[in-house]
Every structure is written in structure tokens, then in C-alpha cells.
Structure 1
Amino acid sequence: MNNSSQDHIILPTAIVLVRDVSGGYRLGRALLDSCSQVNFITDELSQTLMLPRRKHNIEIQGIVKSSTNIKYTTSTNIKSQVTGFELPLTLCITSHIAYQPEPEIDTSSWDIPSNIVLADNQFYKSKKIDLLLGTESFFSLLSVGQIKLGDSLPILQITLLGWVVSGRYRASSNTLNTKCLLACEESIDSRLEKLWQIEEVTSKADMWTREQHSCEKLYNNTVTRSPNGRIVVKLPFKDDPACLGESYTTALRRFSAQERRLLRSPNLRTQYVEFMDEYERLGHMQVALSPNLNQPHYYIPHHCVLKPGSTTTKLRVVFDAFCQTTTQTSFNDIQMVGPIIQSELVVLLLQFRLHRFALTAEIVKMYRQVLVSEEHRMFQYILWRSSPNQEIQTFQLNTVTYGMVAKWHSNHKRFRGEHSVKDLISIPQ
């Protein structure tokens, strides 16, 4: 072996469309693994797609008899961006799928043909994996065709998802590569010790992460009140919004599909239009006059979800800030998530036992009582028209929006005392 280089292995990945609970599709990064007997999906993506989960205890065994217990499974479809091929899957829900090339692979000298479509055109970047497709799926996706890139380079394999890159390659030694492999078997004593630690009643001084502290600091430094008493917040960016790519085309395509669907369901369309008309009438959104598209901005796709069994609103409009732009980055990817600061559910339930009577109430449109700073409303553009006979217009959402991960930071804070429930009730809609 040449001491000036190091051998690495690339595993095949693909960007696929994953169906959510409403029938729409979102992008996810899948790892193709011919050695796995089951398919996996991360808990994060499963919750984003709002997929129904089923209890199903499965023990997953790996090397050196290591095991992991899976408690839930779910089902959905994946679809190829290249061929339109669709595959129904049952997936085990796990917290993490451990593979990503690190550090980023230098492919500048690789002669990848320009006339092929890669299944993952950023396979060389260190990004999280959302799904793992096991043996059954793996061989259903393979097609006939391979391209060898050269000596000490991986191969290209054609699949129904596009061309995947996989195999051994040799990198120069100036690429820092640190690996650590560990196998550990716990004794019964150590497990008992962990059980005792769980049972101990302890209080830790600080359980917040660095990001949560940054979110708290941003809140304290930027939250203000408007002249009429409304709370005004800024969006907590953790990355420069300039990293967002083009989002208008995707938003337009999804709006057109949603409009066609509503035209087939007159009752549903009436509720949707009424919801959006009220949104505009209350000042929670307005037409964006001459939006400056030369600055970073973001178009949020929206769709409706029926609420079975609801005694009030039968339909809810959902805004999808997880929708990726042309840079494979979504708006939610660049926002910080603040700490959860309300009491634990168990504590809230116990408080009901302290008094003979308990009252519950709901604050109407609570999230939408909080305004977003005008300088950040360009990241809350949507496309809308109430009738196909009208032109499609760009609107900006003026308030905290459903579907934003930052929503939890900007609203749970209200219950800490700085802005009470009374404040929210007294704010004019």
C-alpha cells in the first residue's frame, strides 16, 4: 500500500421521495444496505411526515451480539425522482442511522459522466441519513449497468433511483481521517447500577444545550412589543439564510397539485378558502408588494389536513417549512430549537389532584397572536389564490407559523412570566 494514501469505503445513498400522512411527498436521504433484513426510518423523519406508528417489539442484532430493541414500526411509500418507480415499505423506527462520509470527499478528479443522473448528487457530503433500505428493497431497485471510474475509485451502479456511487476509493493522506471502533459487553452489575441511578432523585443545574442557550439569549435581546401591544419575535437562525436555494418552483408545483385536489372536493375547497380568507382578513398574512427576490427568501408550500372528530375546525392548513430548496436545505434546517420549559406532563396531571375542581380553556389562534419581525417575513412567503380564475399571488405570513421548528421557542416562552396567558388573551386579533 502506498503510505501517502488511505483506503475508504463509500456506501450507496439516494435521495428519494417519501410519502407523508396527507399523501404528499418529501425528500429523504436513503442508505442502500444489502445486508439488513429490515428497513429503517429515523424518528425525526417519521414525526415530520406524521406517519402513524404501530407497537412492534423487535430485537435487532449486530456484530459481537450487540442488540437494539425497536419498539415501533410504520408504513409508507418511497418514490424515485428519476423513474417514478414507487415502492411500499414497512420500516422500523429508530433514533439514528449511523452512516455519513466524514470528512467531505474530494471528487474533483473523478471523471463522472455528465449525461447520467446520480441518485444522490451530494453523495460526497457529510449529511444525515433518513432511511435505510434493506435486502428486499435493495435488490428490487437494482438495474443492469455499471461504470468503473478507474483504479482506486468506486463504481457507479444503475438503479431505479438513479446511478449510485459505491465501493473502495483511495484518498490522499492530507485528508484527516480519525476512526474509533469499540465493542463493549455490559455486566449484570453495571446494568443494576444504571437502574439505581435512574431511580435516584437528582436535580441538575443546567440541562440546556448550547443551541438552547443561544435561543434563550436571542429571545431576551430581540423580543419586543408593537404599539398596539402585540408581541414581536425574530426568527432564530443558526445558519446564514443565504444557504437557501430556489424554492418558488417547488411551492408552485405543490400549490397547483393542491388546487387540483380541492377542485375535486367542493366542500373541502370551501373550508380551505374560508380559512385563508380569514387569515388575510385578520392581518395574519398580506400580499407581498414587489418581493425582493435578490435577497435570501423562502416560499413555504401549504396543504390541508382533515381533523376527524373535531368539534370546531374540521380542516387545518399545514405549512411545510421542512420542504427542501435546490441546495437540499430547508428553512427548518437553519433554525435553532429552543428548550421545552413547560412542566412535565406527569406534573401537570398530578396538579389536577390538588383541588376539587379544575378548569380548562383554549386560547383561540394562540400562535397567530405573535408577530414575526418585518425583516424576517420574506422567509414566510406563500403562493395563494382563492379561485383558478385569478392570478397566483405571493403573500407573506405576518405571524408565527405552524410548521416552523422555532414555533416552540417563540411561544412556550409566554408561560414563564415575561408574557402571561392574560397578555395573549388581551391582544387584539
Structure 2
Amino acid sequence: MFEWQKHSQDATNVPHFQDQLDFMHLRAQASETSSSENRKPSKDEWVGPPSSPSAIETKLGWIIAGATDTQNTEVMSRHTEATSDDILKRFWEVEEPPNQVDSVYWSKKKCMVVDHFQTQHSHSSIERFVIPLPRRVNASTIGEFRSQVIRRFVYIERLLSSKGLSGQFNDVIREYFDMGHAEPVLESDFKKSAYQVFYLPIQIVQRDSSTTTKIRVVFDTFAKSSTRVSLNDTLLVAPMVHSPLIDFLLRFRSHRVALTTDVRQMYRAIELTESDRDYHRFVWRSHPNEPI
């Protein structure tokens, strides 16, 4: 909204609203001499009872104009003011393409994550990335969480059974093992203390509109352990290295035909080191009668 008080004093400042200004002045004068019941409303006007204002649609939006016989003089007004310079500046800020990602603007910790990846990553025998977890220095210790994970799994197990979705859930988990994205914990590794392992609780995302898999499994890395520390609390946060959203939108408008694609199970294709896999444990069984 422009600063209307400044512009309305001189109609030449807003010539494209000249007709609306003239109409508003005439309407205000006419309402003082005639009641709304003696005049036929136009298609852009809502007329109220006699001696009451009318709602009028203009290029500026709907306005209220006319006389009133009410004795209540309290008026409440809500509006937003912006000068033409502010509007022009905002327009250029939106249209200006963003600067390229520059490591100069990254924090020290985010630079550590990038350096960690560049120096520590490797490739497996099937050409998958293998990356150690970027741990924080002097991070708090993760506590015991297996007992809570078991309780949450039993609850989800009963919930899915009541909805008839247990079979779909088991198919999703079995796919993890079939594709090599998960492996059973060795019996000897059960001897490790609670501070050497971490169990991730499972959450279920149900997508009824999906034409393939209606259930998606999500592991909650924000869950707090007995020491009120989650797995995410012990890890560094990486900087955003992909292009900003505005870049994608501009490229989308640049060509007549736009193509989109998706990388299937991208995050599951990144392997963890042997030592880090103990911090990504989860519990599962295919039937309630089986042990966890």
C-alpha cells in the first residue's frame, strides 16, 4: 500500500486511480443527501440499511464509504505503509540472482564438516560413499535408549496391526536387509555398553496417495537418550552446498519444457563405517510372537 495521505492530495500522482478517486468523493457526497433505499446499487457495490455506509469495490480493493448516524466515534484502522522506494527495492531483491556459495561465509564448524568429508570419505567395493560421522569435539555422552525404543516399536506394531498395515511395514524393513542397507547385529556386539551404541526409534509416515509404497519408515535421530542427548546433538551440521531454491525456479522458467527426476534411496546408498553402525541400531521383528 502506498502512502495514501501523501498521494491523495494530488490526484496527478496516481492518474490510473483518477476514476476511483472521483467516484469515492461523489459517493461520500451523495450519501449525505439521499438514503440507500432510494438508490439502485451497482454491480460493484453492496448497499446496507438506510443511513449506513456501503461497501464499494475499487481497483484498490473493497472500501467502506457513506454516512452513518451512529454515535460511536471509536474507529479502528489496520493498514500497512510502504513508500515506492521500499517497494522497488524489495522487487530488485527478489529478482536479483543469489551469490554463489562461498566458503568464506561458512562458520568454522561448517568448514570442519566439509574438510572432514574431503579427507575422510572413501568408496566401497560397489562404489558407494563411505563416510565417518562428523562428530563434535567434546560432545556430551549419549545415554541408554534401547528400552524406550522397544516400547515405541511395540506401540507402532500394534497400531499398524489394527490398520492392517503390518505386512507392508515388514516388506519395507525386509528391503533394507535385501539391499544391504541394514544387517543383523552380531551376538558378540550385544555385550557393548549402552554408551557405545545407540538405538534409533522408528516412525511411520503413511502416504495413502502413493501408488507404490504407502508406508515410509523414518528413523528419529532427534530422540533424547537417558542423558537428554540425541545422536544429532553429538554431530556437526554441514553447510548447504546445493543451489538455492530461487535458482531452480529461474531455470524452470527459462525453457519451454521442464524435466524432473529423483534419486531413489539416495541417503541409504551412503555407507557408515563399522564403528559408526553401532549408533544406528534399530529393533524389529516380523511377528508379535517373535522375540525382539
Taking structure 2 as the reference length, what is the TM-score of the superposition?
0.62
Is 2:133 aligned against 1:235? yes
- Is 1:315 the counterpart of 2:212 in the alignment? no
The runs of at least 4 aligned residues of structure 1 exceeding 6 Å deviation read: none
CA contact (8 A) 2:140 2:234 kept: no
Residue 350 of structure 1 pairs with residue 247 of structure 2: no
By how many angstroms is 1:391 displaced? 1.3
Matched residue, 1:301: 201
Q: Which residue of 1 aligns with 2:107?
A: 209
Q: Distance in 2 between matches of 1:208 and 1:218?
A: 14
SS in 2 for 1:317: strand
The residue that corresponds to 1:371 in the other structure is 271
Name 1:271's counterpart in structure 2: 168
Secondary structure at the counterpart of residue 253 of structure 2: coil
Query: Which whole-Å CA distance do the structure 1 matches of 2:149 and 2:226 have between them?
Result: 12
Deviations 1:56-79 (Å, cap 9, x if unpaired)? xxxxxxxxxxxxxxxxxxxxxxxx
Task: Give the C-alpha shift of residue 263 in structure 1.
Answer: 2.2
Pair 1:287 & 2:184 matched: yes
Q: Secondary structure at the match of 2:105?
A: coil
Per the TM alignment, residue 322 of structure 1 is displaced from its structure 2 partner at its CA by 0.8
The residue matched to 1:371 in structure 2 has which SS? coil
1:253 aligns with 2:151: yes
Q: 1:236 Cα deviation (Å)?
A: 1.0
2:199–2:281 contact (8 Å) kept in structure 1: yes
The CA distance in 2 between the partners of 1:308 and 1:297, in whole Å, is 35
Gaps of 5+ in 1: 1-187, 393-429
CA deviation map 1:181-222 (0-9, x unaligned)? xxxxxxx9xxx7xx78x9496859522112211110110111
The whole-number CA distance in structure 1 between the counterparts of 2:263 and 2:227 is: 38
Distance 2:238 2:166 in 1: 36
Matched, 1:225 2:116: no
Say if 1:242 and 1:296, in contact at 8 Å, map to a contact too. no
Distance 2:192 2:291 in 1: 19
SS at match of 1:372: coil
Q: Is the 8 A contact 2:140 2:229 kept in 1?
A: no
- For 1:391, the equivalent position in structure 2 comes to 291
Question: What is the CA distance between 1:318 and its match in structure 2?
Answer: 1.2
The 2-side partners of 1:241 and 1:250 are apart by 22
Q: Identify which range, 349-358 or 269-278, moves more after superposition.
A: 349-358
The residue number in structure 2 matching 1:111 is none
SS of residue paired to 2:135: coil
**What is the rounded CA distance, in whole Å, between the counterparts of 1:276 and 1:203 in structure 2?**
42
What per-residue deviation string (whole Å, max 9, x for no partner) do you get for residues 327-346 of structure 1?
11111111111111111111
How far does residue 349 in structure 1 lie from its aligned partner after superposition?
1.4
Greater C-alpha Rg: 2
Identify which of 262, 282, 291 aligns with 1:382: 282
Q: Does the aligned pair in 2 maintain the 1:226–1:232 contact within 8 Å?
A: yes
More displaced 10-residue stretch of structure 1: 382-391 or 201-210? 201-210
Give the aligned residue type for 1:256: V
Q: Is the 8 A contact 1:298 1:378 kept in 2?
A: yes
Q: 1 CA distance for matches of 2:140 and 2:209?
A: 42
Which protein has greater RCO, CA pairs closer than 8 Å, 6+ apart? 2
Contact 1:241 1:296 in 2 (8 A): no
* Aligned residue in 2 for 1:426: none
Judged with a 3 Å threshold, the aligned counterparts in structure 2 of structure 1 residues 258 and 343 are, in CA distance, closer, same or farther, namely: same
Aligned counterpart for 1:332 among listed residues 209, 214, 232: 232
Shift of 1:285: 0.7
Q: CA shift at 1:242, angstroms? A: 6.5
- The answer to which structure has the higher strand fraction is 1
Q: Give how far 1:248 is off.
A: 0.9
Change (3 A) 1:223 1:391: same
SS at match of 1:254: helix
**CA distance in structure 2 between the aligned counterparts of 1:264 and 1:368, rounded to whole angstroms:** 29
| Partner Cα separation in structure 2 for residue 348 and residue 369 of structure 1 | 25
Structure-1 residue corresponding to 2:43:
none
Gaps of 5+ in 2: 1-81
Alpha carbons 1:300, 1:320 under 8 Å: kept: yes
Give the count of matched residue pairs: 200
**Which secondary structure does the structure 2 equivalent of 1:386 belong to?**
coil
Q: Which amino acid aligns with 1:207?
A: Y
- In 2, distance between residues paired with 1:354 and 1:378? 47
Partner AA of 2:170 in structure 1 = V
SS at match of 2:216: strand
Which residue identity lines up with residue 281 of structure 2 in the other structure? Answer: Y
* Superposition pairs of residues 136-147 of structure 1, within 5 angstroms: none
